Amino acid sequence: MRLGFGLPQVGPAVGPDVLVTAAQRAEALGFDDVWVFDRVLWPIAPRAPYPASADGRLPDVCKTVLDPLETLAFVAAHTRHIGLGTSVLNLPYYNPVLLARQLSTIDVLSRGRLRVGFGTGWSPDEFEAVGATMKGVGKRTDEALRVLKTIWTTDPVCFAGDHYRVPESFIGPKPVQKPHPPIYWAAYTPAALRRVARDANGWLPAGIPIDGMRQMFDLIKRMAQEAGRDPTALELVVRANVYLSETPLGSARAIFTGTSEELRADINATRQLGAAALIFDLQFSPSIDSIEALTQWMERLRTLAEGS
């Protein structure tokens, strides 16, 4: 099971020194990838609750969030071989033609280290702010993905759809990885799970209990087989939003929360589930208040994973 680590992107203290320290330490410890996420704004009066908090509000640190693509490009220049992933980009927020070139550029400049995780977004405030609409988002997302793959794999490019049109053109650079960087989807609804089965290299869930992941991934693999794909080729890449506790939280706790021993049990269960990769993200654990604490726990989680 590959191991990844979420880069520090949030809060007023983030900046170049913190990013370089975290990325280079992850590379030195043997992590396979570092990952970034996508957050546009912190709404004061959100129209939809944040699903990962009890009160529906985003964590305060999300008032400051470094852009994911610029962060990956910066980190690519300060590392040598560690993978660079998005967990996740909300694809409906982006023009797919421009995004295809941005992602290709990162893949070229990093010599083929990009992994692309996508989602469809959930915040009506963010959709409004970027000029997108939630109406018909599934169909637009599917078409945007086709635009990306067309640009990455054909020359010259020509695309005519319901939402996007590209005149016959040369659009470069092409990604180093062929036919394109691996694509993972954060998906939870039946339609989104079908998108994983039909169009992605794997599924990228977060916050789902082990039994739930097992059932949903089994469904994805059945859908893939129905679509004529090899279900065994799909990867399960699990995002672990880690919340640390000095005292045990017990059986009612959320996955990847609690003490070191409780985290070890979740890591072991994820491995037994057959996950291809596990991504640790500590940015929202209140006990991580400095880059020193972050790198110490980075090493500790690596040790926990090796011993599971």
Cβ neighbors of 42 (< 8 A, separation 6 or more) are 58, 60, 62, 63
Cβ neighbors of 305 (< 8 A, separation 6 or more) are 1, 3, 267, 278
Distances (CA, A) of 292 to 18, 29, 91, 258, 264: 10, 15, 33, 20, 22
How much is the pLDDT for 308?
Answer: 65
Distance CA 219, CA 235 (A): 13
Angle at which helix 96-109 crosses helix 137-153, to 10 degrees, equals: 50
Q: Which residues of the chain have pLDDT under 70?
A: 308
CATH number of 2-307: 3.20.20.30
Q: What is this structure's pTM?
A: 0.96
Q: What is the pLDDT of residues 250-304, one digit of tens each?
A: 988 999 999 999 999 999 999 999 999 999 999 989 889 899 999 999 999 999 9
**Domain residue limits, the chain:** 2-307
